[in-house]
Structure 1
Amino acid sequence: MSLSRRNFVIATSVAAAGSTLLSACSSGDAGGSGGSATEGAKTYSKVTVGTAADSTGPAPEIAGAKKGGTIYGLAPDDFSHLDPGRIYYAYNSTAALLLHRCLTGYKVAADGSQKLVGDLATDTGTMSNAGKTWTFTLKEGLKWEDGSELTVEDVRHGIERLWASYIIESASYVQIALTGKGGKWRDAYEGPYKGKHLSEIVTDKAKRTITFNLAEARPDFNFTMAMHSYAAVSPKLDTKEKYDKNPAACGPYKIKNHTTDKSMTLVRNKNWDPATDAIRNNYPDGFEFTFGIETLDSTDRLIASQGNDAFAVSIYKGVPAERIQKVLTDPDLKKRTFNGLLTGTYYYAINTKRVTDLKVRQALNMAWPLQQIRQIYGGPSSGDFATTILSPDILGREKFDIYGKLKKPQGDPAAAKKLLKEAGKEGVKIVYAFPQDPTYNKTKVVIENALKEAGFTPVIKPIDSTTYYDQIAKVDNSFDVMWYGWSPDWPTAYTMMQPLFDSASVGDGLYNVSQTKVSWIDETIQKNVVITDQKKAGAAWAALDKRIMEEVAPIIPEMYQRRYYVYGNKVGGAMFDPNFSATLLYKTFVKA
């Protein structure tokens, strides 16, 4: 999806309970064409687009829930950013849901189904001018934590400040759509701190409207505006670089104190009005987060449910492989679990700059030992084998299995050898890179064995997990195959295809790790992204998915992963966040 550092950069495996998290926002169909105004189509993949009535607060009550008490959150790591403009990783968004608000957001039902609704806005916006113009109207009664009014000027400022030099982590969809300058969007504007505004954003404070005049059509722009990168920020409360440590809240909670890498306490934001919020509940009096607790330790604490751990949840780390069978086979423990499929696809990127022969890349797909890898992750409970670029939640995605991975998930060394022989590449050296982690230290063994059996000469390169993504994102890296993964910001294929396979996404720090540079891929991406009929768009993206895997084979799909969570026995309302693959904190409450 984006050209920026975000929720995307992947999470470690469910079983591995690794460091970062795939994330996703979901997107919607915004049909319509020409110059007439339209609200767009009403469904988009597994997400529906809500009405103004759906956007009206308060959020639906949860059966059996009551106000009071504290929910405790456990995690290995602190939130790396709290300034919404610097939030792009899923884990950070779990905190943002409690603190920040955007024009739109996702209303999650008890069954996990979602509606895109107006959050700060009265509805999901009105599109005109063939997707180049979008207008939103703010709700009345919106306030910041200090009691000051939240206005359309704050929404505008939240976007304009993304041009500041100290913000480099945000999503870039809106910036690119507004300027039409692609990766050079920063050249179009110097930011708001010298008193200048973007002419493409028009606000009317009296009417509470904000209009975006885009340089590029974006039929699903209302989904883009649900990303936390585009949350409102008051110019009066903006402390610039310092804002990342103590941002002003307009959500149901605010920060009371935060000790970096140790703990953070949230308390009620008394100036948040539930009548303005159709998405969030606020049953607990507050949240106390403790950082630095490894996943296995936190899981054991949640299983035991002693003291405050009875009121605790794991914020974003699922049950590790070492405990999954215990949790799923104990009836009492299983009652205290929830699970969900992670949005997106885990895969191995093949460096096409180094592995230039298509038959060699196809042979790698044939040889890869998916079954053995999944067994290390925890078996079938850890997820489903992947055979496509697009994950099952993507609009229009079609299932195919070009390399026979569902028939022979253990790998097909004979077929791989045949391709290598045809290419004259028998014994070719393949450098495999992966983040050092107890789980990946095990999967590297079965991968090495499978490559040897298929006629490759594997060279194994473990990389420190803290620098892994930086190293593989270098254009001149020395790796042939790299463990990776991607989650879309909303369920359209553009949010996977553009960042992963567009030539413009090749560069140090960018996400086209396979370094795919194919003109017909670039052209098809640009053609598909402006199709306003999302059913036709979905079919076009599905065709591109299959063609890329057949004619380029730049990746080896691995898993559509499932994550299980266990929580304390005094926690109510705990459920899976379908956008960020985490605990949906604002649904939790303390049981009587």
Structure 2
Amino acid sequence: MRWTKALTLGAVASLGLVTACGAPASNPGNNTPGQSGNGQIAGAEAGLDPTAKGPAPEVEGAKKGGTLTVSYNTTPANFDPSDQFYQDTAVIFTLSHRALTTFTMKDGKMVLVPDLAEDLGTASADGLTWTFKLKDGIKYEDGTEVKAADIVHAAKRSFDPDLAANGPTYQREFFKGGAEYQGPFKGDKNWDGVSAPDDKTVVFKLAKRFETLPYFVSFNQFTPIPEAKDTKGEYQRHPLATGPYMFDQYIPGTSLTMKRNPNWDPNTDPARNAYPDAFKFNFGQDIIKTQTAILASNGDDATTLNWDAIDSSLVPQIEGDKKAQFEEGPSSCVFMINFDATKIKDINVRKAIGTAWPFESIHKAAGETSHSFTPASTVIPPQIAGRLDYTFENFNGQGDGDPAKAKEMLKAAGAEGFELSYYYTNDDDTAQKVNQVRKQALEAAGFKVNDIGAPAKERRAIVGKPNGKYNMLQSPAGWCFDWPSADSIIPPTFGTTALSQGGTTFGNTSTPEIDNEIKRVLQLPIEEQGAEWGKMDKLLTEKYFYAMPAYYDKGNSVFGTKVKNVMNNPNKGMPEITKIWIDQ
């Protein structure tokens, strides 16, 4: 799912991700995303287990205690549940926040199970009403009971254009009256697209069928928030926990520590284990220094985890005697070079940028290797059913660009000296190296480049604003499927709905043909949609080129010698953090 948008990988064009669900795990190794150990493309899947009960099965040999430190390069913009659609914050919230449903790993595959709800919901005969019943005994960290009205308030809050600008937009697309709703603070408090007829029942009313709704209600937008305790913009500093851990100390832009939640009941939770006593997240960390220290595993580094792409300088270690400290597996994400088509209106100018793009030099400057990516030519990743394997002209994520040809293309378009404006992270050495390579290539192609430096703790928020001072590299810089179907890829990234929420999209523009085609495909039976999304993928690139596929992501984890049971979650391309334990 990604949950959408952006985990910025050490600099690769300062890209961003999203959350996603469902690709099966593979053995660690140098595999293409979505491949199994034998090199065959593995179809994405996310099974359903509506009868799963707590507690979660114990991990063999696991011990309780210790603190797991997670140090990585990105800096989250905030921790407001309504605004979270990013890979890293989604993983962190797995520890502290529960939703109506959730994913867990069983036998190496992701499975959707009930979380706060008793089951995976019940749909009416026409598919336009869904009902979820809550379990008994669910409490917040302060001991108060979770009520259905709290989930309703959270769901309504996810429509607020200020509090949830970077959140998902499926609710606007599918919920009855959702397209115009502005949330409980700016809109009608009595809006009944989501309602609670009693303390244990949540009812969703839809404008059209949404067969994958049980997947969607696993998102952070459906973690309960009591209206009386909602401090709006300040709520993100300490959102009330329902999971095994709660916020202890949060220093925006720097760190977050979590401690045990005394009111979490494992008997109600079929997905989460809670082995460490505490978690500490350090943001904005230098990738090479962090990974080097973890592999050495001296002192606290032995109990530290990093989920950035492995740096090329360290590959000999993780392919050699440090192999046991590295986990690699499939990811649901595709990284893109995103153009703002409202400002770069000529497709030939956008194609000139793609022609000049120095993929190889950028990967080298970022220290990336085949352990962390595979070149891409499509918007839909290989493991999704219906995906077309095509290459538009020479845009295949490979090579080092052709500035001379790009310069000719600019001249032919009457756009010599066209100015490109984008933001890059200026307080990270790797990001600065990547920007230097990128800028030199674009200038050699005849572009004027206005590269704007911003601190890591600010950049994610800046590039997520639709009217920023940029014309490329806005968010999203990548997308991870939210569940294993392209209906969770193309509509939220190319459709107009996200723009109406105050967010950004590939192209940042509203195109009637694209919206109409999305509407047409969504009306088809789910089993017929796959091939149609594949055709649309090709149309989007060849006719519009609002964004250029760059690479299919792989999940990487580097961890200290005392960090145990690190498994790649193919749902996110990140570690299954609730299953990790510390060997003290």
Question: Which category describes the TM-score, using the shorter chain as reference length?
Answer: 0.7 to 0.9
Cα deviation for residue 507 of structure 1 reads 7.7
Alpha-carbon distance change, 179 to 482 in structure 1, aligned in 2, over 3 angstroms: closer
* Residue among 36, 48, 51 paired with 1:50: 48
Instruction: Return the alpha-carbon distance in structure 1 between the equivalents of residues 76 and 334 of structure 2.
Output: 24
Aligned to 2:272: 280
Instruction: Give the secondary structure class of the aligned counterpart of 2:46.
Output: strand
Is the 1:22–1:343 Cα contact (8 Å) retained in structure 2?
no
Q: How does 1:178-577 map to 2 (within 5 A)?
A: 178-182=175-179, 184-186=180-182, 190=186, 196-205=189-198, 208-235=200-227, 237-261=229-253, 263-291=255-283, 293-314=285-306, 316-321=307-312, 323-331=313-321, 333-377=322-366, 378-406=368-396, 409-411=399-401, 423=412, 425=414, 427=416, 429=418, 431=420, 433-436=422-425, 438-444=429-435, 447=438, 456-466=445-455, 468=459, 470=462, 473-475=465-467, 477=469, 479=471, 484-503=477-496, 505=498, 510-531=503-524, 533-577=525-569
Cα deviation for residue 491 of structure 1 reads 3.6
Instruction: Return the alpha-carbon distance in structure 2 between the equivalents of residues 565 and 581 of structure 1.
Output: 9
Q: Which amino acid aligns with 1:87?
A: Q
* Structure 2 runs not aligned, ≥5 long: 24-41
Is the 1:474–1:508 Cα contact (8 Å) retained in structure 2?
no
Is the 2:78–2:252 Cα contact (8 Å) retained in structure 1?
no
Alpha-carbon distance change, 465 to 576 in structure 1, aligned in 2, over 3 angstroms: farther
Cα deviation for residue 446 of structure 1 reads 5.1
Cα deviation for residue 406 of structure 1 reads 4.9
Instruction: Return the alpha-carbon distance in structure 2 between the equivalents of residues 416 and 494 of structure 1.
Output: 34
Instruction: Return the alpha-carbon distance in structure 1 between the equivalents of residues 496 and 231 of structure 2.
Output: 37
Alpha-carbon distance change, 475 to 156 in structure 1, aligned in 2, over 3 angstroms: closer
Is the 2:377–2:549 Cα contact (8 Å) retained in structure 1?
yes
Instruction: Return the alpha-carbon distance in structure 1 between the equivalents of residues 278 and 204 of structure 2.
Output: 36
1:140 correspondence with 2:140: no
Aligned to 1:99: 96
Instruction: Return the alpha-carbon distance in structure 1 between the equivalents of residues 523 and 185 of structure 2.
Output: 25
Instruction: Return the alpha-carbon distance in structure 2 between the equivalents of residues 534 and 350 of structure 1.
Output: 30
- Report the count of equivalent residues: 558
Cα deviation for residue 288 of structure 1 reads 3.4
Q: Which amino acid aligns with 1:173?
A: Y
- The Cα RMSD (Å) is 3.6
Aligned to 2:56: 59
Is the 1:8–1:486 Cα contact (8 Å) retained in structure 2?
yes
Instruction: Give the secondary structure class of the aligned counterpart of 2:175.
Output: helix
| Larger-Rg structure | 1
1:158 correspondence with 2:151: no
Q: Which amino acid aligns with 1:48?
A: A
Normalised by the size of structure 2, how large is the TM-score?
A: 0.83
Q: Which amino acid aligns with 2:20?
A: C
Alpha-carbon distance change, 268 to 508 in structure 1, aligned in 2, over 3 angstroms: closer
Deviating more after overlay: 80-89 vs 275-284? 80-89
Alpha-carbon distance change, 303 to 188 in structure 1, aligned in 2, over 3 angstroms: closer
Aligned to 1:38: none
Cα deviation for residue 46 of structure 1 reads 1.8
Q: Which amino acid aligns with 2:358?
A: P
Q: Which amino acid aligns with 2:448?
A: V
Instruction: Give the secondary structure class of the aligned counterpart of 1:457.
Output: coil
Q: Which amino acid aligns with 1:68?
A: G
Instruction: Return the alpha-carbon distance in structure 2 between the equivalents of residues 476 and 302 of structure 1.
Output: 37
Is the 1:74–1:313 Cα contact (8 Å) retained in structure 2?
yes
Normalised by the size of structure 1, how large is the TM-score?
A: 0.82
Cα deviation for residue 435 of structure 1 reads 1.2
Alpha-carbon distance change, 433 to 539 in structure 1, aligned in 2, over 3 angstroms: same
Q: Which amino acid aligns with 1:201?
A: V
Q: Which amino acid aligns with 2:503?
A: L
Instruction: Give the secondary structure class of the aligned counterpart of 1:486.
Output: strand
Q: Which amino acid aligns with 2:261?
A: N
1:71 correspondence with 2:50: no
Cα deviation for residue 11 of structure 1 reads 3.0
Is the 2:309–2:556 Cα contact (8 Å) retained in structure 1?
yes
Cα deviation for residue 306 of structure 1 reads 1.8
Sequence identity, in percent? 27
